[in-house]
Structure 1
Amino acid sequence: MLPSALYYCCMLDSRILMRGSPRSDGIADRLAQRDAVRCFEGKTKLAGQWMFCLSRICRPTMGEACRTPDVCGLTIIRLHDTLAIGEGSVGKTDALTSWRTGMDRAMREHRELSYLCAACRMMLYKRDMAERQRVWRELPSFFDSVLAGWEGIAS
């Protein structure tokens, strides 16, 4: 199976991965056992990547044009902590989903996070995009597969 198909299977509930999904005729569509194992192992790796992406996005270095590095550095650390303990973060496997919506919401809802300067905010958005691109490039490795030409697809 293609890594992208395995990735989307990882978004399924574990019971569906085990038992299959019933069709209208009552027969369950199931993954081959080998692919189901790859998905369960991939789910673990993707959950780790989800949090690893957040840590790389919110590393406390400021944008080049930042004029308030002390404030922004502390704000980025607080943003990381707010998102890391947020609802649904732990165990999430959708490592290709952007953190941007969560970052924007946190900055709206928590006054102390609104102090982030525009340069640092843009830097975080760029890091978010870069992390999702990295995960996409590395996707075959999460399923222990080597796919000739994936680099071209991933670009």
Structure 2
Amino acid sequence: MSVNSRKSRKRARADIDSEDESSAAMAAKEDLKHDDQVWFDDGNVVLVAESIAFCIHRGLLSLHSEVFRGMFTMPPPENEETVAGCPVVRVSDAAQEMRYMLWALYNGRAFRNPRAQVPFKVVAALLRLAHKYQITYLREEALARIKTVYVDDSLDFMTEECPSHPLLTYEEEDAFDVVQLAHLTDTPSLLPAALYLCCETEPFWEPTNIIKSFLSKRDEEPYNLLSQEDVFRCLAARPQLVEARLAVFSYIFSDAGGMQCRASGLCRGALAFIKNRFFEAQSEVPEWPVRIDCLYPRADDVMSDTCYSGQYSFCSSCQTYFKGRDKDIRERIWSDLPSYFGLDIPGWVKH
């Protein structure tokens, strides 16, 4: 075989490869759908996430993102893919999350309004992508909003059986996402409250099956959001949290020394009634799942149940006294919460 023949075959193979690549690019291009919300006719670059195309402005991305700024300084490839006459940049992100990020860059007023409640899934997506693309201001704003709920106001946030916050919506599976975001952004102060809320969810109700569940469902949410280390942290913490829940009740109503009321006989009778009910409950088969909500206020509910019994009640002075003890013990548990999960959080707020 002559050298020329070999060269001819190589050229033919290269031509075939080039045609295959072009065909694949054409097929991919035909599957693209222009985004309804983020498509600017005067844009000069097209981002493609999944099969959704976003026509936007290169200058805007370069202004806010160090990653895109560096990407746009690189020379374009010889066979650059284009859509609507604009170069295409394909990314591996979910289209919906990319839409959230781009919309925040173009029109972030709703998100940046400190009084507006924002869906958690939006804030989580913004934090993930802002971290990935090094959009500093967006990363800090998203992280600050999550920290307000899971760190600064967390003790108040968890005083209701269905937690809610004016800045952020809440679903119980959000806590798993927060754990992942804490590791991604190296923000360990998010972990104690998020892991605590994970411990309250159904996957952790049955400790005997939990490891099997997490190992067999590693590709399913929420199981794929926790590392093995975090799973073991929660398993180790649950018995301590159950004990802490019992300690809350015991602490609130164990000390009658501060009771100063004129109807002391009635109030002390009510206290004795509460203690008897507590000890009776301990001798019964525990409810399933065993509850761990040691940060939830107890005094109001217990005193209300006592009044509803029709036999006993507390005067306003004693109610205030026991509510104060309730707040005190919950703040102590909050201060110690990182230790339940084997965490040492620098600068953790001590009450």
Task: Report what 2:192 is aligned to.
Answer: 3
Task: Report what 1:128 is aligned to.
Answer: 326
Note the 1:36-75 alignment, pairs <5 A.
36-75=231-270
Task: Report what 1:106 is aligned to.
Answer: 305
> How far apart in 2 are the matches of 1:105 and 1:119?
15
Task: Report what 1:97 is aligned to.
Answer: 296
* Structure with more relative contact order (C-alpha pairs < 8 Å, separation 6 or more): 1
Q: 1:106 Cα deviation (Å)? A: 1.0
Normalising to structure 2: TM-score of the pair?
A: 0.38
**What's the CA shift string for 1:23-67, capped at 9, x where partnerless?**
4xxx95242111111101111101000010100001141545322
- 1:62–1:120: 8 Å Cα contact kept in structure 2? no
Q: Which has the larger radius of gyration?
A: 2
- 1:62–1:69: 8 Å Cα contact kept in structure 2? no
- 2:270–2:306: 8 Å Cα contact kept in structure 1? no
Structure 1 vs Structure 2 CA RMSD: 2.9
**What's the CA shift string for 1:110-140, capped at 9, x where partnerless?**
12232x2221111111111111111111101
> How far apart in 2 are the matches of 1:96 and 1:121?
19
Q: Paired residues, what number? A: 149
Q: 1:70 Cα deviation (Å)? A: 4.0
Q: Give the letter for the 1:97 counterpart.
A: Y
- 1:49–1:95: 8 Å Cα contact kept in structure 2? yes
Q: Any gaps of 5 or more consecutive residues in structure 2?
A: 1-187
Task: Report what 1:143 is aligned to.
Answer: 341
Identity of aligned residues (%): 23
Q: Any gaps of 5 or more consecutive residues in structure 1?
A: none
Q: Give the letter for the 2:245 counterpart.
A: W
> How far apart in 1 are the matches of 2:252 and 2:303?
14
> How far apart in 1 are the matches of 2:287 and 2:320?
25
**Higher strand content, 1 or 2:** 2
